[in-house]
Amino acid sequence: MGALAVSKDLISWQKLGIIVPKIPYKKFKLLAESQGEIGEKYRRFNKLPHTHIKDKEVFLWDKNVIFFPRRINGKLYFLHRIRPDIQIVRIEKIEDLNPDFWKDYFLHFKEHIVLSPKYEHEVSYIGGGCPL
């Protein structure tokens, strides 16, 4: 899960904690499918591995958080990745990333997707990491 730490001098850091939604996959699916089915690709990447206890809650895998370097029209933007796609978030301030924000975000989930893999192998090669 994506977390945020801030610094003014790159020596001292203030940890702000997790900024992406800590949401069970089942709840994500319920909200995101309010616009129609989200498809097999999300189920495939958020399955509970067979080694886990069946009753354990599975949280949505949200990674690759990348903030834009400057505000755009006064707003903060960041990319993040709920596999296999990449989505964008726009907020006024970090404190806006609350449960109500994420609920509305997932109700309109398809509107936030900015990049989807075209071919199956791309699922492992798009994201916020450095190029290979």
**φ, ψ at 64 (rounded to 5°):** 60, 50
pLDDT above 70 as % of the chain? 83
| Residue type at 109 in one-letter notation | F
Q: What is the pLDDT of residues 14-34, one digit of tens each?
A: 999 999 988 888 888 888 888
Question: Which pLDDT score is estimated for 14?
Answer: 96
Q: What is the pLDDT of residues 38-81, one digit of tens each?
A: 766 676 666 655 444 556 777 888 888 999 999 999 999 999 98
Please check whether residue 2 is in contact with residue 20, taking contact to mean a CB–CB distance below 8 angstroms. Answer: yes
Question: Which pLDDT score is estimated for 79?
Answer: 94
